[in-house]
Chains A and B, each alone.
Chain A
Amino acid sequence: MALLELRNVTKCYNSASTALSDVSFSVREGEFVSVIGPSGAGKSTMLRCINRMIEVTGGEIYFDGVIVSKLNKRDLRKLRTKIGMIFQHYNLVDRLTVIENVLHGRLGYKSTLAGVLGRYSQEEKGQAFRIIKFLGLNEQVYSRCDQLSGGQKQRVGIARALVQNPKMILCDEPIASLDPNASKIIMDHLRNVSTGMGITMIVNLHQVNVALKYSDRIIGVNKGKVVFDGSPAELTPERIYDIYGSESGDLIVDLGERNAS
C-alpha cells in the first residue's frame, strides 16, 4: 500500500521560474528512497512540499490516506507530527542541551502552554533517553549542542525526528556538511531506522554512490521533473548522465556497492 503519493505536483515561485513541474510518484511503507539530481533541480522544494513547509501551486499529495493540501492549520500540525524532518545544517537550538533539543520533537503533540513552559511527561523523557542511547549519544545527554561535532549534531537531529514517532522521515541533504566518516555513521543509522523500525525514508542526496549503496529505490530529478525512478541496479551511467546532464562529466562517480534488494 502506498503511504505517500504525489500526483502532478507543480510549484511555481513566480510566473518566470518553475521549481517543480508535474511530479508524480508514490512511496510504499518502509521504503528507503533517495532523491538525486543537480543543485537547484528542486529536490529540496519537493521535500518541503510533502509536509507543506512550502505550499504547492498545483497537483495533489496524499499521505496516509489524507490529502495534504486540504488540511486546516490544526490538522496540518497533526500531520507534521507523523513526518519527521532532518536538515543539512541540523537546525538545532545551539544554546540548549541535547535532551531538550530532542524533546522539541514532542512539541507538536502538546498543548501550547505545556510546550511554552517545556513540561514533558516521564514517558516522553524516557522515550527520548532510549532514542539517545540507541544513537550512541548517552554521554552527551546534558551537553549543550554547540559543543558537539557535526556528526553528533546530526544524530541529535535524527533523535528529534524519531521522538515524534513518525511514519516517515524526510532528510534534506543529511550528510552534505559532514566528513566521510560521520557520513557513514549517519547513513547507517538512517538505514537501520528504516529497516528496524519500518519507517519510510525520503533522502535528498548529492552523492550518487551513497544513494546506490543505501537505497531501495532512487528518484532522479532534473529541472523540476522526475527523470528517473527505479532500483539502484537500474541506475546505469547513461541514466546518471540523463539526471545530471552535462554536469555529469565533472562528477566523480564511483559506482561501487549497490544495495541489492
Chain B
Amino acid sequence: MQADIFIKRRNGGLLFFASLAILTAGSMIITEYDVLKGFTSIAGALIWGFSNFYPDAGSMQKLGDIMLKLRETVLMSIASTTVAAVFAILLALAGSRTTRMNNLFSVAARGIASVFRNIPLVAWAMVLMLAFSQSPLTGYLALFFGSLGFLARAFMETIDEVSNNSVEALQATGAGYFHIIFQAVLPSSMPQMISWLLYMIETNIRDATLVGILTGTGIGFSFELYYKSLNYHAASLVVILIVITVIVIESISNKIRRVIL
C-alpha cells in the first residue's frame, strides 16, 4: 500500500516511454528516415546556406517583381480569410451549442466545418487547379476553403465559451433569437473572433507560399521559379521578404490583440 503510487507512476512512465520508443522505431522504418543522414544534413544545410543562400546584387534587380508577387499574395490571404470569416460566422452560429436553432442544423454545420477543416489544403489546391489552372483564383479559393473549416471551429468554441450566461439572461427577459445574437453573442465574442481572424491571416500568408508552389501563383511561384533555376540568391531574397512580411503582420496583430482583448 505504502509505495503504491510510486510504483504506479513508475510503471506508467515506463509504459509511456516504451510505447513512444516503439512508435518512433516503427515510424522510422516505415518512412525510411535515416537518423544519421537527417542530422548530418542539418550541418550540411547550414554550411551550404551561409555560402550560397543570401541575396546578392544581381538578385536585387528582381526585387520589384518579387514585391509585386508578395503584394498579390498578402492581399489574397487577407481577402480569402475575411470572406471565409463571414461564412464561418454563419456556420458557427448554426453549430454552436448556445445559439443553434435546432439539432439537425447544428449537426450539419459541425459536420461541414469538420470536413472542410480536415481536407488538406493540398487537395483543395490540386482539384481547383484542374478547372481554374494557373489563375490567382485557384490560390484564393484553396485558402478560402482551408480557412473556412478552421475559423468555423474556432468561432464555435469562442461562442460556446463566451456567451453561455448572457444568452440565458437575455432569454429570461424574453428577447428573440436575433436580438440575442446581435446584442449578446456577437458583441461578447467579437474580440476573440477578430483575434482568430488575425491568426488565420498570418497562417494563410505562410500557406499561400505552399499553394503558390503547387498552383504556380503568387510568391510561392516566384520562389519555385528561382529555386528550380538554381538562382539561390534570388530565392533567398524571397524567403527574407516572406519572413519580414510575416513578422510585421504578426507584430501588428499582437498590438491589435493587446488593444481589443
Contacts and interface: CB of A to CB of B under 8 A. Distances in A.
Q: Do A and B contact each other directly (Cβ–Cβ < 8 Å)?
A: yes
Interface string B8-24: 01000000000000000
B9 A99 contact: no
Contacts, number: 14
B42 interface: no
Nearest to A141: B5
A142 B4 contact: yes
Interface in A115-138: 118, 120, 122, 125-126, 129
Contact of B9 (A118, A125, A126): A118
Contacts of B3: 122, 125
A120 B5 contact: no
Q: Is the interface of B mostly helix, strand, loop or mixed?
A: helix
Nearest to A103: B6
B173 interface: no
Interface in B1-58: 2-6, 9
A22 B141 CA distance: 72
A125 B5 contact: no
Contact of B6 (A120, A126, A129): A120
Contacts of A122: 3
Nearest to A142: B5
Given A125-B6, A142-B5, 12 more contacts: A97-B5, A99-B5, A100-B5, A118-B6, A118-B9, A120-B6, A122-B3, A125-B2, A125-B3, A126-B2, A129-B2, A142-B4
Interface of A: 97, 99-100, 118, 120, 122, 125-126, 129, 142
14 contacts: A97-B5, A99-B5, A100-B5, A118-B6, A118-B9, A120-B6, A122-B3, A125-B2, A125-B3, A125-B6, A126-B2, A129-B2, A142-B4, A142-B5
